[in-house]
Amino acid sequence: MALYSTHKINFTPQTHADRCALCLNLRTMSRYGRLGGGWLLKIRRIVLGVDEADWLKVWNVVYGVRWDLAPMTVEEMRNMEKSPDFDSEGRFIVELDNQPVGIVHAYVDKFREEKKGFVRNFGVVPEFRGQGTEEKLAETALEELKNRGMKVAQSSADSDQEDIIRLWESLGFKLVRRFSLMTRDIVGLQSDNGENMEVVLKPLRRDADEDLETLNRLDNECFKEHFNWRPSPLERTVYFVREDPFFKMQEWFFAIVNGKHVGYIGIGIDESYNAEKNAKCGWVLDIGVLKPYRRTGIGTKLMSHGMNLLKDKGMTVAMLGVDDWNVTKALRLYEKVGFKVARKEVAYEKSIE
């Protein structure tokens, strides 16, 4: 689904000896080298069910400190690994003198026909940056994607991460997309922004298979023209709505015109994030309107309804993510209903054939 997700992770600790034994028994799992100061660097594969704790030691330092994310737990990560589109291969960890200091996921989407792979969860803890570790991680990820049959690699960075952007550009990556994380205060929310007052909103029943099938069909139809789209399988929709480990509170609504389902919106609250950040923040998880019904006020109606729901649940801020170059000009809709850009992300691609 076209969601702005918070990628978190978790693990169960085992001894270093156990991890090394598993690592060395698996084919082509390790790379060794020396950094300045004589530190022994090792890049090895993550073993599913074994190394999640070490992965999270790095992830929580690199990503969990960001204002829009919260540290992840092992339980959350294990639940995330159950997602139908989760790729358990291609995850690497960097160790310096046996201490985890960096991670990367060379992600391959098994549902995508296009031979495009993704460099995700790329990061090194601050005190070990700028010593060549990032370059070795990037090279490892690109080699992994190529070995798994990918022809194009996509990477990303926050727009203010100048060092990471320079790294991708030095490796031949070219800018292909910009994304925005947007927020708005919903305390004084008004609902008079020109929404379509004729459309009927109907709640999705999370326990009704036919409603999830309808949501999946609408999602695929609404987003088939979008960047990085590929058909979303029904099992992915079912997993997210019923089992997502972060947005346990979700509500979804269909927009209906003359008895036809023509759009939808989902809102959610990540209670662990709010507790960690002492926040009252809710998310617009996803919104879509079928092409023939766009620019008729239905999107505005859905947004107004979703934000008012979050407000009624005690939230004071709403957040969402958007592709700046979205073919539907969604950024304009969000600005119209009061959202402002809080953070930018850039995406890069390069051929790896």
Q: Does residue 8 lie in a domain region? A: no
Please check whether residues 195 and 337 belong to one and the same domain.
yes
CA pair distance 54, 48, nearest whole angstrom: 12
334: Cβ contacts below 8 Å, ≥ 6 apart: 182, 303, 320, 322
pLDDT at 131: 83
Nearest to 170 by CA among 339, 348, 320, 298: 348
DSSP state letter for 63:
T
pLDDT at 5: 39
The distance from CA 165 to its chain's CA centroid, rounded to whole angstroms, is 19
Please check whether residues 272 and 192 belong to one and the same domain.
yes
CA pair distance 92, 40, nearest whole angstrom: 16
Say which CATH number the domain at 91 has.
3.40.630.30
CA pair distance 269, 316, nearest whole angstrom: 12
Domain boundary pick from 130, 150, 170: 150
**Tokens 């159950």 appear where?**
82
Residuewise pLDDT in 10s, the chain (353 residues): 544 333 333 222 233 333 332 232 222 333 444 454 556 789 999 999 899 999 999 999 999 888 999 999 999 999 999 999 999 999 999 998 889 999 999 999 999 999 999 999 999 999 998 888 999 999 999 999 999 999 999 999 999 999 999 999 999 999 999 999 999 999 988 765 667 778 999 999 999 999 999 999 999 999 999 999 999 999 999 999 999 999 999 999 999 999 999 999 999 999 999 999 999 999 999 999 999 999 999 999 999 999 999 999 999 999 999 999 998 889 988 998 999 999 999 999 999 98
Please check whether residues 195 and 75 belong to one and the same domain.
no
> Alpha helices, DSSP H only, in the chain?
16-25, 52-62, 74-80, 133-147, 162-170, 209-223, 234-243, 271-277, 298-312, 330-336
Q: Does residue 40 lie in a domain region? A: yes
Domain extent at residue 260: 182-344
Per the structure, how many domains does the chain have? 2
Please check whether residues 50 and 109 belong to one and the same domain.
yes
Q: Does residue 165 lie in a domain region? A: no
Q: Does residue 279 lie in a domain region? A: yes
Residue 207 vs residues 9, 204, 213, 216, 242: alpha-carbon distances, Å: 27, 9, 11, 14, 8
pLDDT at 41: 83
DSSP labels, 185-224: E-TT----S---SS-EEEE--TT-HHHHHHHHHHHHHHHT
> Is residue 104 classed as helix, strand or coil in its secondary structure?
strand
Domain boundary pick from 133, 150, 167: 150
Please check whether residues 26 and 113 belong to one and the same domain.
yes
Q: Does residue 39 lie in a domain region? A: yes
